[in-house]
Every structure is written in structure tokens, then in C-alpha cells.
């Protein structure tokens, strides 16, 4: 169904416009549809049918996008795999998804799980056939993809994303990012992540083309934006942070960039200001969402006022978002609680996991696991993940609030705040900090800086400086679990 409203629509209304740019060439939407048709025919000849799974272990690239389109044509379920996973982690995902086939790249780990049909894309070019494939699937409730969660909070789960979910996401994308005919979207974030996966289908619907880079780095990003005249992209704050610190960034012409959406983790107000200084012509859009929901809220460019820089914005039409207490009752304005959501963008559940699916929903709404509040004008503020809340001496500390202060220090490049066990206080606030190269910073200086903005009980009681970057998921999220676990390894619970 989603193919009809994406590439199918583009081939009818924008047939001669550029759709993709594989290997420096240019494919029109008409040419792209023919190529997808031939790839779908090849997959069909190998026995792929509605409901079968095809796993994709690939860097970003045009062929990745074409394979996803072919899956959507046939009703095959795409399983985009996180390219930063270790072999054992990939094996666990494949064992859960049980795909009929796997298309992979030789530079990435070779799974040990036995799969009946495999292709190594960089050694065996994508197969096409000229015979006709089955008719395009049109079933809104069919599963389009299994997006496995990043594992930030534990064992990955396969999020079932339907064709109707992605169609809703397209409308939400356009509400916040305002696609235009002839725009150029850059896939700089990984395609396997929900922040970028819906964007495979959004640009064609509006006559926009797509460019990919295999992996984000500031120089490749700048070169691509300059060469391809990129207008739209989605990045995570880690990438934006690297971009603003790239020494040669001002040597490149980035003036074509019109809309920059960011999300995946909080972004400190100081980093927002640096981005504004670097890209004054860009409209910034903060987006908040999850693998299970797609984007839920957006803070649009004109809403990036000084008093709202910590807000993730408001939902667009079609999304109902509320703040509730532990019993599911809506809380008063300004009071913290869990964000719960409902709408056509919400997943139907987790693959092969009825128990976790049941736990994820309450009173018909999806429970995000995020703590936040809503102000009197309807703007939402994320305080933390439920599991990241620190209870020290009976007081609740939201690590995101502490991190925002630490990130504002001019000598800090990265930071993560979490709770560690303490016999007196239950938990202590701890910070792992990566200083910027060549800038001296002491623990006493950092704590003195924090005291200017935070209550005493929120000040980190332990600080560690690291000379390497913090561990991250494939989507750029800092993996606090990996930082925390050494302190909790001999305890039955991960909270005190």
C-alpha cells in the first residue's frame, strides 16, 4: 500500500524528476519504478511472498532504498539491521525475525545463523528480472518492516511497522519539514533507524530526490551537501555536535540546506545556538519519537525561543499525546508523568512478543517510558527515560536536566549522567564527561559550574573524565547501560 502512495505516486506526477543518484548517475522516478519492478520480480522468482522477511545488513546506499521499495511492492517484510551490532547481537535478531533471506555487505559481521538465501551486495550486484512481478500489495495493515529497538534500555525487540504507520509518518514529516517538489533529502542518519527509515518513502510522495552517504562524518556530510545541493536532512545531536566542531566546516557551501530536523536524544541549548551560528539560513525542527511511534512531537523553527529550547514541541494533527500518572490518569499541567500516545502512527506490537506488547499499552495508548510534563501552552518537555531517573536521599533527579547543564560548559564535548549505588543515599549522581581536545577542565571547575544552575542534591557526586567518546548505539544514542553496568554488576536490581 505504501508503495502506491510513494514511488507509485512519484512515477505518475514527477516521472522525469530525479529520484535517486546511484554511483554518481541519476535515476528519474520513472526509471526508478522500472528498476524496483525488476528487483521485485527477482525476489519473487526466489520464492519471496507476502509476509516473508528479508533482512538487510547494509550501509546506507541507493540499493538499500531500492530493496525496501521492492519489499513494499511484494508485501515482504524488510528487517533493517543495526550495522553497529556485534555478530552475536545480529544472530539474536535474525533468530527472532527468522528471515527467508539476507542481503549484506562484506565489510560487516557475517552472521552465523543459517539463512536459506543470501547475497553479498558488494560482491554480487542486485539481481533484476524483466518478467512481471505480482501486483503491488495494497493492504494498510500489512507489516512493512521490523525495526529492532536500539537496545539502549535492554534486549532489542522487533517493532512491527505497518504500511499505514509509514503513511501517517509521511504526513507528519511533511507537517514539520515542509517538503517541496525538487527538494533533495540526504540520508545521513542510518536507514535502519526509525528517525530515517520513514524518509525512504516521504521524499517521493512530494517529488523530492534522495541522496545517501554510507556513514556520517562531518567532511563527507559537507562535501555531499555542497555537491548535491541538499535541502533537507535529519541528524542526531551527536552528529550536529561533530559538525559544529569540524575545523573545516566553513570552507564548504552549505547554503542550500533549508531544513534540519534533529532528534534521538536531547540537544543542549548551547549546541542549538552553535548550530544557528553555523547555519543561519536553516530552519531547525526538533523531533521527538520512538521506534514504536515514529515522530510524536516537533518544535518548529519559529518556536525555538529562549524559553522553549528544552521543549520537544507539540504533536501534529493525528497524534494524541498525554502525560499520565502510574494509574493512567492524566496529570495536571506542569506536573511530571509518563508520556502516552495514540494515533495511526503507533505500532500494533512487537514481533513474536505478546507479553511485551501487552505491557507497552495501557487504556489503548502506547506507554513511551519517557517522563516529562506539558506547559500551559501545550508544549512538551522530556525530563528523562523512566529507567534513567535517579533517586538519591528520597529526591528524584532527572539526568537529562543535569546533562543539559554540563553540556553548556564550553570545555565539554560529551556527557552522560546516571545513578550509581550508595549505602547512605541509595543512589548517587554520577557523570562521565568527555572534554573537548586541548581544553583543560577539572572536577572542581565542573562542579562549581553545575552549582550555578542546579540544586545541591542534583550535583554529581562522582565525575569521571574519559579520553574516548562515549559508547553509542547505531543511531547515535549514548548507551548509558554500558556505563552503568559495572557499578551494578553484583546487585540483584539496577536501582536502589
pLDDT attached to residue 430:
96
Please check whether residues 266 and 358 belong to one and the same domain.
Answer: yes
Whether 494 maps to a domain, the answer reads: no
Whether 385 maps to a domain, the answer reads: no
pLDDT attached to residue 155:
66
Domain that holds residue 417: 393-488
pTM of the model: 0.83
User: How far is residue 207's CA from residue 6's CA, in Å, rounded to a whole number?
Assistant: 9
Question: Domain containing 416 — which CATH number?
Answer: 3.30.300.30
Please check whether residues 291 and 326 belong to one and the same domain.
Answer: yes
Please check whether residues 340 and 423 belong to one and the same domain.
Answer: no
Task: Return all residues near 135 (Cβ < 8 A) that are at least 6 apart.
Answer: none
When divided into structural domains, the chain yields a total of: 2
User: How far is residue 419's CA from residue 388's CA, in Å, rounded to a whole number?
Assistant: 8
pLDDT attached to residue 331:
95
Please check whether residues 346 and 413 belong to one and the same domain.
Answer: no
pLDDT attached to residue 265:
59
Q: Which of 59, 48, 153, 37 is nearest to 105 (CA)?
A: 59
pLDDT attached to residue 151:
45
Please check whether residues 362 and 444 belong to one and the same domain.
Answer: no
- Give the three-class secondary structure for 279: coil
Beta-bridge mates of residue 382? 372
Whether 386 maps to a domain, the answer reads: no
Please check whether residues 18 and 110 belong to one and the same domain.
Answer: yes
Element counts in the chain: helices (H) and strands (E): 14, 25
Question: Domain containing 129 — which CATH number?
Answer: 3.40.50.12780
For 259, how many CA atoms within 13 A lie in the half-sphere containing its CB?
23
Tens of pLDDT, residues 360-401: 999 999 999 989 999 999 999 988 677 677 878 767 787 888
Please check whether residues 284 and 399 belong to one and the same domain.
Answer: no
Residues of the chain short of pLDDT 50, as ranges, are 151-154, 492-496
Please check whether residues 376 and 398 belong to one and the same domain.
Answer: no
User: How far is residue 87's CA from residue 108's CA, in Å, rounded to a whole number?
Assistant: 9
Q: What are phi and psi of 25, to 5 degrees?
A: -80, 180
pLDDT attached to residue 496:
43
Tens of pLDDT, residues 144-160: 999 998 544 446 789 99
Helix axes 269-278, 399-407, angle to 10 degrees: 40
Amino acid at each position: 500500500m505504501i508503495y502506491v502512495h510513494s514511488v507509485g505516486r512519484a512515477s505518475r506526477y514527477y516521472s522525469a524528476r530525479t529520484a535517486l543518484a546511484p554511483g554518481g548517475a541519476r535515476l528519474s522516478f520513472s526509471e526508478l519504478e522500472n528498476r524496483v519492478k525488476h528487483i521485485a520480480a527477482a525476489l519473487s522468482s526466489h520464492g519471496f511472498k507476502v509476509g516473508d522477511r528479508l533482512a538487510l545488513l547494509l550501509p546506507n546506499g541507493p540499493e538499500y532504498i531500492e530493496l525496501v521499495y521492492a519489499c513494499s511492492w511484494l508485501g515482504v517484510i524488510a528487517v533493517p539491521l543495526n550495522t553497529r551490532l556485534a555478530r552475536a547481537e545480529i544472530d539474536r535478531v535474525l533468530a527472532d525475525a527468522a528471515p527467508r533471506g539476507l542481503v549484506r555487505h562484506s565489510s560487516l559481521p557475517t552472521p552465523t545463523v543459517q539463512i536459506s538465501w543470501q547475497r553479498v551486495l558488494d560482491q554480487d550486484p542486485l539481481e533484476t528480472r524483466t518478467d512481471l512481478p505480482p501486483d503491488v500489495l495494497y493492504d494498510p495493515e500489512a507489516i512493512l518492516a521490523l525495526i529492532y529497538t536500539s537496545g539502549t534500555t535492554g534486549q532489542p525487540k522487533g517493532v512491527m511497522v505497518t504500511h499505514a504507520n509509514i503513511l501517517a509518518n509521511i504526513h507528519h514529516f511533511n507537517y514539520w519539514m515542509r517538503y517541496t517538489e525538487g527538494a533533495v533529502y540526504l540520508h545521513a542518519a542510518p536507514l535502519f533507524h526509525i528517525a530515517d527509515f520513514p524518509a525512504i518513502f516521504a521524499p517521493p510522495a512530494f517529488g523530492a530526490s534522495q541522496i545517501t552517504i554510507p556513514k556520517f562524518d562531518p567532511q563527507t556530510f559537507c562535501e555531499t551537501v555542497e555537491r548535491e545541493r541538499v535541502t533537507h536532512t535529519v541528524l542526531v545531536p551527536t552528529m550536529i555536535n561533530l559538525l559544529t566542531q569540524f575545523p573545516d566546516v566553513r570552507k564548504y557551501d552549505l547554503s542550500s540546506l533549508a531544513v534540519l530536523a534533529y532528534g534521538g536524544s536531547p540537544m543542549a541549548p548551547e549546541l542549538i545556538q552553535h548550530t544557528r551560528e553555523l547555519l543561519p539560513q536553516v530552519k531547525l525542527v526538533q523531533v521527538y519519537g520512538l521506534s514504536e511511534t515514529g515522530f510524536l512531537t516537533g518544535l518548529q523553527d519559529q518556536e525555538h525561543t529562549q524559553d522553549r529550547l528544552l521543549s520537544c514541541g507539540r504533536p501534529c494533527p493525528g497524534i494524541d499525546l498525554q502525560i499520565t500518572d502510574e494509574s493512567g490518569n492524566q496529570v495536571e499541567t506542569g506536573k511530571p508523568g509518563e508520556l502516552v500516545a495514540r494515533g495511526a502512527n503507533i505500532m500494533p506490537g512487537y514481533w513474536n512478543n505478546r507479553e511485551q506488547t501487552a505491557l507497552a499499552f495501557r487504556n489503548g495508548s502506547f506507554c513511551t517510558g519517557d517522563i516529562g510534563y506539558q506547559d500551559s501552552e501545550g508544549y512538551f518537555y522530556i525530563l528523562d527515560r523512566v529507567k534513567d531517573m535517579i533517586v538519591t536521599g528520597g529526591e528524584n533527579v532527572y539526568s537529562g536536566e543535569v546533562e543539559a547543564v554540563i553540556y553548556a560548559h564550553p570545555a565539554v564535548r560529551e556527557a552522560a549522567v546516571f545513578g550509581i549505588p550508595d549505602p547512605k543515599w541509595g543512589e548517587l549522581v554520577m557523570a562521565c564527561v568527555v572534554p573537548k581536545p586541548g581544553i583543560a577542565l577539572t572536577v572542581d571547575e565542573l562542579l562549581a559550574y553545575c552549582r550555578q544552575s542546579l540544586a545541591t542534591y542534583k550535583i554529581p557526586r562522582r565525575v569521571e573524565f574519559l579520553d574516548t567518546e562515549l559508547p553509542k548505539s547505531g543511531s547515535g544514542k549514548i548507551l548509558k547501560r554500558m556505563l552503568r553496568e559495572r557499578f551494578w554488576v553484583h546487585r540483584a536490581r539496577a536501582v536502589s
